Amino acid sequence: MSGQPLFQGSYVALITPFKDGALDEAAFRKLVSWQIAEGTNGLIPVGTTGESPTLSHDEHKQVVEWCIDEAAGRVPIIAGAGSNSTDEAVDFVRHASAAGADAVLVVTPYYNKPTQAGLMRHYEAVADASDVPVIIYDIPGRSVVSMAVDTMVKLAEHPNITGVKDSSQDLSRPTELGNRIGGGFSMLSGEDGTALPFRAAGGHGCISVTANIAPRLLAEMHAAWQAGDIATAMAINARLMPLHAAMFCESSPGPVKYAASLMGLCGEDMRLPMTDIDASSKTKVKQAMRDAGLINA
């Protein structure tokens, strides 16, 4: 795959604000516009960080529509559209395509553990149904199944499959994929803590949890890397590393939603089975935010 990757830089896996158990449209729109003003390169609604497993299908589609409407073409929207049912994933993909998303993010099917052949057929069905680029989301820590490099190389032959969000934590993969697929395949890290090493190995950016609360710093880090200012990128990365760790002191998005509430971005409400983080975790999050300069108190 030749040419430049479609997606580069700092992308945010958006949280989904709730109020009294329902979607909080006002808070979500506020978050989207704030992200854009802070320099985020692109938005990903209704991924795992957006608590997509607890949204109804109608709510899922509503959040995608709000995101596209509020962004109004200012930055790319990569809509979460995955499911462990291929038919459901196809439905989400068709909706996001019709609603005006710039691409869709499709996770490897969780729980049912398909073979590599099953993964091939799943992604081919999704890509055939899509009018926009498809980004593979490989996250074996949550979905259990992992996509083999050989499978990804074959899928990249499909004209609609143009990139990967890689949460495998294997830092050799960007180099191998770049060698085998070419520079036009967008390789985005799904791990904040290893995003900079991922770029050093040939990656193009990150889909970030921490960017929900530190969008400007992360956008500046990726911009510095792309400009060849390695020292600045490394300094920002070092500053944010304790914050990255704090965002995963409990299952995400608990810590980042609490952090967002401290910044007045939205409430910390989540839907069961996700619950408020423990008091000791709140202390860790607050301290990391202070150290990063995000809050004073």
Measured between alpha carbons, how far is 295 from 297 in angstroms, rounded to an integer?
Answer: 6
pLDDT for the residue numbered 183 = 84
Mean pLDDT of 105-119: 96
Measured between alpha carbons, how far is 32 from 258 in angstroms, rounded to an integer?
Answer: 18
Mean pLDDT of 69-90: 97
Indicate whether 94 pLDDT > 80.
yes
Mean pLDDT of 18-36: 97
- 183 domain residue, yes or no: yes
Indicate whether 2 pLDDT > 90.
no
User: Cis omega before residue 76 (within 30°)?
Assistant: no
Indicate whether 297 pLDDT > 80.
no
CATH of the domain at 103: 3.20.20.70
Query: What is the per-residue DSSP string for 53-65?
Result: GGS-HHHHHHHHH
Mean pLDDT of 13-42: 98
31-54 pLDDT, tens digit each: 999 999 999 999 999 999 999 999
- 248 domain residue, yes or no: no
Mean pLDDT of 12-26: 97
| Mean pLDDT for the chain overall | 96
User: Cis omega before residue 215 (within 30°)?
Assistant: no
Mean pLDDT of 100-109: 97
pLDDT for the residue numbered 81 = 97
- 126 domain residue, yes or no: yes
Question: What is the total count of domains within the chain?
Answer: 1
Q: How confident is residue 4, by pLDDT bands cut at 50, 70 and 90? A: confident
Q: Determine which one of 11, 110, 123, 137 is catalytic.
A: 137
Measured between alpha carbons, how far is 105 from 116 in angstroms, rounded to an integer?
Answer: 19
Mean pLDDT of 86-101: 98
Range of the domain at 158: 9-233
- 297 domain residue, yes or no: no
Q: What values do phi and psi take at 114, rounded to 5?
A: -65, 155
123 is catalytic: no
154 is catalytic: no
Percentage of the chain lying above the pLDDT 90 cut: 96
- 284 domain residue, yes or no: no
pLDDT for the residue numbered 122 = 98
Q: Which residues contact 72 (CB under 8 A, 6 or more apart)?
A: none
Mean pLDDT of 17-42: 97
Query: What is the per-residue DSSP string for 116-146?
Result: HHHHHHHHHHHHHH-SS-EEEEE-HHHHS--
pLDDT for the residue numbered 126 = 98
Strands 18-19 and 22-23, by their bridges, are antiparallel
Indicate whether 1 pLDDT > 80.
no
- 259 domain residue, yes or no: no
pLDDT for the residue numbered 3 = 80
230-280 pLDDT, tens digit each: 999 999 999 999 999 999 999 999 999 999 999 999 999 999 999 999 999
Radius of gyration of the chain from its Cα atoms, rounded to whole angstroms: 18
Reading the block at residue 285, the tokens are 């999050």
- 191 domain residue, yes or no: yes
- 1 domain residue, yes or no: no
Q: Determine which one of 61, 110, 165, 257 is catalytic.
A: 165
